[in-house]
Amino acid sequence: MAEASLASLALAARAGDHRATAALVRVAERGGAEADRLERELRHGAPPAAHRIGITGVPGAGKSTLVSQLVTAFRQRGARVAVVAVDPSSPFTGGALLGDRVRMQQHAEDPGVFIRSMATRGMLGGLAQASNAVADTLSAVGYDPVIIETVGVGQDELDIAAAAHTTLVVLVPTLGDEVQGLKAGLMEIGDAMVVNKADLPSSAGFVRDLRATLALRRVNGQEPPPLHATTATTGEGLAALCDWLFARDGARDSWMAEREAVRRRWALESEMVARIRQAVRARLAAEPELCAQVERGEVGTQEAAELLMPPTEAD
Residues at the contact surface with ligand GTP, assessed by CB under 6 A: 59-65, 96, 99, 103, 151, 196-197, 199, 231-233
60 vs 91 by CB, closer to ligand GTP: 60
Give the DSSP H/E element, type plus range, for residue 87: strand 81-87
Cα distances (angstroms) measured from residue 81 to each of 39, 84, 249, 274:
20, 10, 13, 28
8 vs 105 by CB, closer to ligand GTP: 105
Residue 270 binding: pick among Mg ion, ligand GTP, none (C-beta 5-8 Å cut-off by kind): none
144 counts as binding Mg ion under rule CB under 5 A: no
Instruction: State the minimum distance, in angstroms, from the CB of residue 303 to ligand GTP.
Output: 42
Instruction: State the minimum distance, in angstroms, from the CB of residue 205 to ligand GTP.
Output: 16
The number of CA neighbours under 13 Å toward the Cβ of 71 is 29
- DSSP letter at 223 equals P
Instruction: State which of positions 85-104 bind Mg ion (CB under 5 A).
Output: 100
Residue 233 binding: pick among ligand GTP, Mg ion, none (C-beta 5-8 Å cut-off by kind): ligand GTP
Instruction: State the minimum distance, in angstroms, from the CB of residue 30 to ligand GTP.
Output: 24
9 vs 71 by CB, closer to ligand GTP: 71
Closest residue by beta carbon to ligand GTP = 62
Buried b (16+ CB within 10 A) or exposed e, 69-82: bbbbbbeeeebbbb
Residue 207 binding: pick among ligand GTP, Mg ion, none (C-beta 5-8 Å cut-off by kind): none
Among positive and negative, which fits the CA dihedral 265, 266, 272, 276?
A: positive
Q: Which of 56, 64, 131, 132 lies at the binding interface for Mg ion (CB under 5 A)? A: 64
* Residues shown for the chain: 315
49 vs 53 by CB, closer to Mg ion: 53
Amino acid at 129: Q
Instruction: State the minimum distance, in angstroms, from the CB of residue 96 to Mg ion.
Output: 7
Residue 170 to residue 227: CA distance in whole angstroms: 10
72 vs 233 by CB, closer to ligand GTP: 233
55 vs 294 by CB, closer to ligand GTP: 55
CA proximity to 92, closest of 133, 61, 123, 50: 123
Q: Which stretch binds Mg ion (CB under 5 A): 58-66, 107-115, 219-227, 261-269?
A: 58-66
Amino acid at 267: A
Q: Which stretch binds Mg ion (CB under 5 A): 38-46, 47-55, 56-64, 137-145?
A: 56-64
Instruction: State the minimum distance, in angstroms, from the CB of residue 88 to Mg ion.
Output: 12
Report yes or no: 177 and 203 within 8 Å, Cβ to Cβ: no
Residue 95 binding: pick among Mg ion, ligand GTP, none (C-beta 5-8 Å cut-off by kind): none
Residue 160 to residue 54: CA distance in whole angstroms: 6
Per DSSP, the three-state class of 125 is: coil
Antiparallel, parallel or unpaired: β 146-151 and 192-195: unpaired
N-to-C CA span, the chain? 43
Residue 293 to residue 288: CA distance in whole angstroms: 9
56 counts as binding Mg ion under rule CB under 5 A: no
Query: What are the residues binding Mg ion (CB under 5 A)?
Result: 63-64, 100
